[in-house]
């Protein structure tokens, strides 16, 4: 019985591995460079790339449960579909797929639509699966240090409809639990689990929290997504910048709010309260002050 974790060196993959390492399971971590991978003790690095079919066949050999996480990329859908076909071919028994909140409704946002297509493929295959649909990561706001501390602005245009951002540490703990439940055969047919934080956040509300914690004025400059796209395109691929703009426009129009049932279920799975945005802000402020 073996678990394979893809996306193992990214933000979520690292959280998942840290939680699994404590459980004593047979866990392999897929990585392009096993010799350079920094993994928790007991985790076995396995060389692989989702576009390298031979390497993926070898990596999936003997795997009973697959955690499928592939990052937002221009060929994200191709990577996921190839990997799912290989998983079925090599006899993988169960799957935990890392999708996105509102994958089924944000149909004009490329990476949402790609993940929903993968969800439908999983359903068609009939493989025993848990589909995790995470909301926006709280820790994405770490990149806002300079705007917040140097200029007193919170420039992430999430709007006012409400986004239930979630701490990546909560995601890692819940995802690890879902993987182990599948590996141990303690779950039935395909399950969909929304991963969200305990509160619906807004641009002005987040700015206010930062202002209180940093003890300085912090403003929210508004909902302009075109300038956000231009800024992202200046530092990365233009296709990715447009993808993010389209996502933010849906945030502003429809929101990404968790239901009370979602929060109750996650609280039960964790056995504690979900981490709040203020928790994150206070920790980030202390870290920034120490450095």
Which pLDDT belongs to residue 35? 87
Q: In the structure encoding, which two tokens stand for residue 192, read together?
A: 């969909």
Which pLDDT belongs to residue 37? 85
Q: Where are the domains of the chain?
A: 3-135+166-195
Nearest to 97 by CA among 78, 70, 75: 70
Q: What is the DSSP letter of 6?
A: S
* Cα distance between residue 30 and residue 5, in whole Å: 6
pLDDT tens track of the chain, all 291 residues? 799 999 998 999 999 999 999 777 799 999 999 988 889 999 999 999 999 999 999 999 999 999 999 989 999 999 999 999 999 999 999 999 999 999 999 999 999 999 999 999 999 999 999 999 999 999 999 999 999 999 999 999 999 999 999 999 999 999 999 999 999 987 778 899 999 999 999 999 999 999 999 999 999 999 999 999 999 999 999 999 999 999 999 999 999 999 999 999 999 999 999 999 999 999 999 999 987
Which pLDDT belongs to residue 25? 77
Q: In the structure encoding, which two tokens stand for residue 172, read together?
A: 């890692």
Domain 3-135+166-195 in CATH 3.40.50.720? The answer is yes
Which pLDDT belongs to residue 188? 76
Cross-strand bridge partners of residue 256:
163
CB-CB contact of 140 with 190 (8 Å) = no
* Cα distance between residue 5 and residue 64, in whole Å: 11
* Overall pTM > 0.85: yes
Which pLDDT belongs to residue 189? 82
């Amino acid at each position: 019985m073996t678990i394979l974790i893809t996306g193992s060196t990214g933000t979520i993959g690292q959280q998942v591995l840290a939680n699994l390492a404590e459980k004593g399971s047979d866990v392999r971590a897929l990585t392009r460079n096993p010799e350079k991978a920094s993994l928790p003790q007991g985790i076995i690095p396995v060389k692989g790339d989702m576009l390298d079919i031979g390497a993926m066949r070898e990596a999936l050999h003997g795997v009973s449960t697959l955690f499928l996480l592939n990052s937002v990329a221009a060929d994200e859908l191709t990577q996921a579909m190839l990997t799912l076909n290989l998983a079925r071919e090599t006899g993988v028994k169960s799957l935990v797929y890392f999708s996105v909140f509102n994958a089924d409704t944000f149909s004009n946002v490329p990476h949402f639509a790609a993940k929903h297509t993968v969800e439908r493929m999983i359903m068609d295959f009939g493989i025993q699966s848990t589909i995790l649909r995470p909301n926006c990561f709280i820790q994405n706001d770490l990149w806002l240090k300079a705007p917040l501390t140097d200029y007193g602005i919170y420039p992430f245009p999430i709007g006012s409809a409400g986004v239930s951002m979630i701490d990546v540490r909560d995601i890692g703990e819940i995802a690890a639990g879902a993987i182990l439940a599948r590996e141990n055969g303690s779950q039935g047919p395909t399950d969909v689990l929304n991963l969200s934080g305990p509160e619906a956040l807004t641009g002005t509300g987040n700015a206010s929290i930062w202002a209180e914690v940093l003890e300085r004025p912090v403003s929210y400059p508004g909902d302009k997504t075109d300038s956000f796209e231009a800024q992202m395109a200046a530092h990365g691929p233009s296709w990715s910048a447009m993808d993010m703009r389209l996502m933010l426009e849906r945030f502003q129009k429809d929101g990404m709010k968790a239901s009370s049932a979602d929060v109750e279920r996650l609280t039960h799975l964790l056995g504690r309260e979900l981490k709040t945005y203020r928790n994150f802000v206070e920790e980030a402020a202390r870290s920034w002050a120490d450095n």
